[in-house]
């Protein structure tokens, strides 16, 4: 345990405002002890939410590193051209009534933009 950020709960009670300001710094947290044993940790709300979100992503995508590697290989081989668009997926899910008109290009992105012609002043 880091002695700088490990405090007995009784001492932390006296310094709670200082601690709450200090944990706003990136990577900073305090371990509170009772009878010399860790009992609680104080960290910023932002850091806590980030940790919870990371755990949720890891739960949903347990093989994320492998999935990313597979997508990169597929991109190099050009397989992405065969992948369904969002429009195709919504139609297959029976959400056609919620789908806007099918885009004119396969992925809904133009490769160039037409500019309006300038009118000649007379």
CATH code, 34: 3.40.1620.10
User: 42 and 69: one domain?
Assistant: no
Confidence of residue 104 (pLDDT cuts 50, 70, 90): low
Range 40-52 burial, b when 16+ CB lie within 10 A, else e: eebbbeebeeeee
Q: Are residues 67 and 42 in the same domain?
A: no
Assigned domain for 103 exists: no
**Residue 94 falls within a domain, yes or no?**
yes
Cβ-Cβ contacts under 8 Å for 51 (sequence gap 6 or more)? none
Domain that holds residue 67: 63-98
What is the per-residue pLDDT for 105?
A: 62
Residue 84 included in any domain: yes
Question: Does 87 map to a domain?
Answer: yes
Q: Is 55 among the domain residues? A: no
Give 37 or 80, the one with higher predicted confidence. Answer: 37
- Structural domains counted in the chain: 2
Per-residue confidence at 99, pLDDT binned at 50, 70, 90?
A: low
Question: In this structure, is residue 122 part of a structural domain?
Answer: no
Euclidean distance between CA atoms 23 and 10, whole angstroms? 18
Q: Does 68 lie in the same domain as 43? A: no
Q: What is the pLDDT of residues 108-121, one digit of tens each?
A: 555 555 555 555 55
Q: Is 30 exposed, middle or buried (0-12, 13-18, 19+ CB in 10 A)?
A: buried
More confident residue, 117 or 44: 44
Same domain? For 11 and 39 the reply is yes
Residue with the bigger pLDDT between 56 and 86: it is 56
Q: What is the mean pLDDT of residues 59-77?
A: 91
Give dist(CA 14, CA 8) in Å, integer: 10
Q: How many degrees, rounded to 5, is the angle at CA 116 between CA 110 and CA 121?
A: 170
Q: Which of 40-54, 68-82, 92-106 has the lowest average pLDDT?
A: 92-106
């Amino acid at each position: 345990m880091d002695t700088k950020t490990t405090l007995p709960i009784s001492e932390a009670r006296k310094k709670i405002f200082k601690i709450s300001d200090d944990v706003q710094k990136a990577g900073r947290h305090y371990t509170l002890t009772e009878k010399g044993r860790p009992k609680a940790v104080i960290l910023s709300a932002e850091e806590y939410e980030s940790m919870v979100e990371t755990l949720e992503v890891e739960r949903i995508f347990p093989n994320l590193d492998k999935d990313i590697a597979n997508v990169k290989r597929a991109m190099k081989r050009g397989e992405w051209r065969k992948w369904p668009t969002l429009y195709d997926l919504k139609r297959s899910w029976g959400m056609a009534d919620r789908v806007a008109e099918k885009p004119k290009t396969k992925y809904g992105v133009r490769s160039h933009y037409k500019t309006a012609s300038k009118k000649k002043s007379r």
